[in-house]
């Protein structure tokens, strides 16, 4: 304890260099911890984009691709599921519920999703949270639309507003379904998932606006009171099983289905493999912040080595008083350990400050929820590694001081 | 016997070929010995040998009746810390500790000296008493050591050497940075303290005028030989 307090006082005496060293350590620790935090939070956020759904079924394509366009509203659907096939698979005895998904239109860059009321009953995200309405009601008639929270806030829409949907997925589409405007009847509460960026209409609505179109071209006006036909196909559908045990058997059945070329994916597994493709970036980021920590440790080594010569007298004095050379060694190691510990403490404080300031912005801009919480076990491990690293780096000046102490004797000739 | 040297021969490693020969040198308890000699005569080498930070001599060097060559490094460190107080020419104090903390340092390192103080009074009380007896103003006790004048620093160094009543005080040119008045005053106070507790003193200086304060003088010649 005495030696630690001596090391501390010696550090305080050299506060200008010591505090700068600790600060550079603190900044590197903040970077390291923040990257780790964002990594973990993004991952858990990502994994909770969809939950409660046992299988996602669509035209045969890559599993990640199917997940991207059905859940993340990214990329183009490569094909569809024939309505008859959907009806057939839906009627299977192991199936508890299905939610049909029909994509292909957009509104000012936001995707329009055709579905039915089961969507509001069965779609879940996060920890089995259901969708809830912030305003209005679910859609009822074909030309009703329920907006995701981001669509409503970004485009400043409210219940009662009228919306025209564009044909296709581009942002600058000139072919619009302006003959069939939709009416906003509801706005969903924020979820932090792609649902927020989606406009939800009924399947009938999708059919209604495409009446009189062939191959993406409008051939003529259709009478307003014309009957809306059954859809010929949908993009895909979500399936909830009566029993999870049946999932794999049903998945095989879908994959071997002969009337249509389909595939079924388990969302959790595919989310994981999608995350694995993104994790290269994540690892690069982590490696970079680890290198920054290494650089700050080298900076500390430089400062300690530069200060060593002036401290030879101090060490000779302690030796004269009977301090064993091994204690001199411990003193120097203790010093770098203290520097590391102060760096870690300040770095952690900086991290929490930054998170507190940046969290609302991250949520608004990227929909990523960064939580302020006690450091995780992994983070504590990183912090311990930094302190241990600092102590290990301190071994170098300590070893030099030890050798000097033996050479110098009682009086130092510098 | 505080220090007893018989037929000691020490050759410094390296190419300079310096050797120190001491046929016979004894310090009994309470002896006050003045050691002088030109620079390069091996005064520092002798002090380092007695302190046990320098090893590898031939012959006999006994400090408090222990043959140093028979002790481990740790044992020599303990012997030095427990029984010898040092005063150097300069840089005696840790600049970042207070005056009193500097005085108490030997008691932090050596349990023997700590117990010697605690058997009579508290550490702080003892440190303050010694500082006062050496003529340091009480207002300075809590100050950082780095703000003191050289004369004040030497008094603090003396108090530190004396705390815990070591059997031997080794003073290596402690007065060479002081003016004549300061020097005499400092010596008188130091020697009075040593006389009070029958402490041996080995005092090194190139200033022969100071020899009159001591029981006897030993001189080291430039060739490393010794006469007393």
Q: From the candidates A5, A6, A12, A321, which should be mutated to test the interface with B, based on the most B CB atoms within 10 A?
A: A321
Mean pLDDT of A401-411: 78
Task: Enumerate the domain spans of chain A.
Answer: 2-47+279-408, 55-265
> pLDDT at residue A173 above 60?
no
Task: For residues B80 and B63, give the distance between their C-alpha atoms in angstroms, rounded to a whole number.
Answer: 9
Is residue B228 in a domain?
A: no
Q: Which residues of B27-46 are buried (b: 16+ CB within 10 A; e: fewer)?
A: beeebbbbbbbeeebbbbbb
pLDDT at B177: 83
Do strands A55-59 and B226-227 pair parallel, antiparallel, or not at all (unpaired)? unpaired
Please give the helix or strand (H or E) that residue A298 lies within, else none. Answer: helix A267-308
Helices A325-366/A2-13 angle, 10° precision: 70
The residues of B whose Cβ lies within 8 A of any Cβ of A are 44, 47-48, 51, 53-54, 73-74, 77-82, 86, 88-89, 91-97, 105-106, 108-110, 172
Do strands B168-172 and B200-204 pair parallel, antiparallel, or not at all (unpaired)? parallel
pLDDT at A216: 62
pLDDT at A169: 66
Residue pLDDT, tens place only, A351-367 = 999 888 888 887 766 66
User: Number of structural domains, chain B?
Assistant: 1
CATH of the domain at B208: 3.40.50.300
pLDDT at B61: 95
Yes or no, beta carbons of A320 and B88 under 8 Å apart: yes
> pLDDT at residue A343 above 90?
yes
Is residue B58 in a domain?
A: yes
Residue A4 contacts B where some CB pair is shorter than 8 Å: no
Is residue B225 in a domain?
A: no
Of B78, B91, B105, the CB nearest to A313: B91
Residue pLDDT, tens place only, B130-165 = 999 998 999 999 999 989 998 899 999 999 999 999
Q: Where are the beta strands (DSSP E) in B64-135?
A: 66-67, 84-87
Q: What is the mean pLDDT of chain A?
A: 86
Report which of A289, A305, A290 is spatially closest to residue A393, judged by C-alpha positions. A305
| Long-range Cβ pairs for the range A1-5 (8 Å, 24+) | A2/B108, A3/A327, A3/A330, A3/A331, A3/A334, A4/A334, A4/A338
- Measure B90 CA to nearest chain A CA, in Å: 10
* Residue A226 CB contacts under 8 Å (≥ 6 apart), including other chains: A211
């Amino acid at each position: 304890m005495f030696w630690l307090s001596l090391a501390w006082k010696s550090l305080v005496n050299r506060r200008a260099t010591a505090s700068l060293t600790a600060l550079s350590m603190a900044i590197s620790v903040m970077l390291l911890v923040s990257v780790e935090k964002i990594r973990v939070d993004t991952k858990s956020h990502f994994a909770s984009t969809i939950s409660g759904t046992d299988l996602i079924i669509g035209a045969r394509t890559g599993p990640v691709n199917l997940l991207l366009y059905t859940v993340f509203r990214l990329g183009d659907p490569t094909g569809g599921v024939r309505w008859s096939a959907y009806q057939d698979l839906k009627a299977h005895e192991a199936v508890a519920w299905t939610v049909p998904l029909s994509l292909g239109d957009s509104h000012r860059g936001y995707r329009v999703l055709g579905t039915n009321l089961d969507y509001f009953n069965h779609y879940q995200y996060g920890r089995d949270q259901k969708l809830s309405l912030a305003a209005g009601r679910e859609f009822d008639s074909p030309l009703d639309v329920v907006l995701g929270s981001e669509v409503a806030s970004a485009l400043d829409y409210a219940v009662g507003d009228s919306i025209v949907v564009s044909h296709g997925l581009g942002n600058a589409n000139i072919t619009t379904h302006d003959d069939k405007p939709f009416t906003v009847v509801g706005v969903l509460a924020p979820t932090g998932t792609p649902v927020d960026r989606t406009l939800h209409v009924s399947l009938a609505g999708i059919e209604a606006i495409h009446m009189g179109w062939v191959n993406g071209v409008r051939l003529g006006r259709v009478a307003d009171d014309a009957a809306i036909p059954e859809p010929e196909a949908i993009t895909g559908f979500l399936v909830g099983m009566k029993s999870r045990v049946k999932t794999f058997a049903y998945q095989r059945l879908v994959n071997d289905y002969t009337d249509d070329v389909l595939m079924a994916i388990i969302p959790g597994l595919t989310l994981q493999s999608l995350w694995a493709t993104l994790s290269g970036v994540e690892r690069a980021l982590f490696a970079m912040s680890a290198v920054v920590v290494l650089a700050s440790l080298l900076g500390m080594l430089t400062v300690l080595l530069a200060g060593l010569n002036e401290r030879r007298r101090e060490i000779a004095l302690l030796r004269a008083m009977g301090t064993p050379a091994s204690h001199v060694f411990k003193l120097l190691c203790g010093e770098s350990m203290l520097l590391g510990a102060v760096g870690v403490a300040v770095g952690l404080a900086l991290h929490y400050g930054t998170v507190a300031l940046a969290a609302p912005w991250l949520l608004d801009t990227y929909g990523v929820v960064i939580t302020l919480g006690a450091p995780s076990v992994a983070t504590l491990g990183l912090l311990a590694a930094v302190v241990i690293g600092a102590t290990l780096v301190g071994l170098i000046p300590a070893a030099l001081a030890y050798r000097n102490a033996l050479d110098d004797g009682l009086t130092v000739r510098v | 016997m505080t220090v007893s040297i018989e037929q000691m021969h020490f050759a410094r490693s390296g190419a300079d070929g310096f050797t120190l020969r001491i046929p016979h040198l004894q310090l009994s308890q309470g002896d006050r010995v003045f050691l002088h000699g030109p620079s390069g005569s091996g005064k520092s080498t002798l002090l380092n040998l007695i302190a046990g930070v320098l090893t590898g001599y031939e012959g006999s060097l006994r400090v408090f009746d222990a043959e140093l060559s028979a002790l481990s490094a740790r044992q020599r460190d303990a012997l030095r810390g427990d029984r010898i107080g040092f005063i150097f020419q300069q840089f005696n104090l840790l600049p970042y500790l207070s005056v009193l903390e500097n005085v108490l340092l030997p008691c932090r390192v050596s349990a023997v000296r700590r117990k010697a103080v605690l058997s009579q009074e508290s550490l702080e009380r003892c440190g303050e008493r010694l500082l006062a007896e050496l003529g340091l103003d009480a207002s300075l006790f809590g100050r950082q050591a780095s703000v003191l004048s050289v004369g004040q620093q030497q008094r603090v160094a003396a108090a530190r050497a004396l705390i815990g009543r070591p059997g031997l005080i080794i003073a290596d040119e402690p007065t060479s940075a002081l003016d004549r008045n300061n020097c005499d005053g400092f010596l008188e106070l130091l020697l009075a303290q040593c006389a009070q507790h029958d402490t041996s003193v080995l005092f090194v200086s190139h200033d022969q005028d100071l020899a009159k304060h001591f029981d006897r003088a030993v001189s080291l010649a430039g060739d490393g030989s010794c006469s007393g």
